Amino acid sequence: MSMVAILLAVTAFGALGLSTDRHYQRVTKQRLAASSIARVRIAAWLILTLSAAASIVAHGWAFGLVWWCGFVMLAAGSVFLTLNLADLKISK
């Protein structure tokens, strides 16, 4: 269940990162529509909530939230480094 929480957190932060124009254009060479930005951000926050729930189920309320904070830091750092340092280009 911890791995699920980590993967959900990485997915959520990836979606939040790609919901910004700068990162989305770097990856896809296209602009993200304004209506899509809101939907992606809402979905990302929901996925982050699911990540917290998965961590709480795995470790209980007390330690689940502590572990989740660690998972969120790990996910945010890895997505930040990937979006800013990796040469990401999706060819179509």
pLDDT digits (tens, 9 = 90+) for 6-64: 999 999 999 999 898 888 888 887 888 888 889 999 999 999 999 999 999 999 999 99
| DSSP state letter for 32 | P
In this prediction the pTM is 0.85
Measured CA to CA, the distance from residue 49 to residue 25 in angstroms comes to: 27
DSSP state of 19: T
Q: At what angle do helices 2-18 and 21-28 cross, to 10 degrees?
A: 90
* Residue from 13, 22, 77 nearest 40 by CA: 13
Q: What pLDDT score was predicted for residue 65?
A: 94
For position 20, what pLDDT does the model report?
86
Give the per-residue pLDDT at 91.
54
Task: Give the pLDDT of residue 92.
Answer: 54
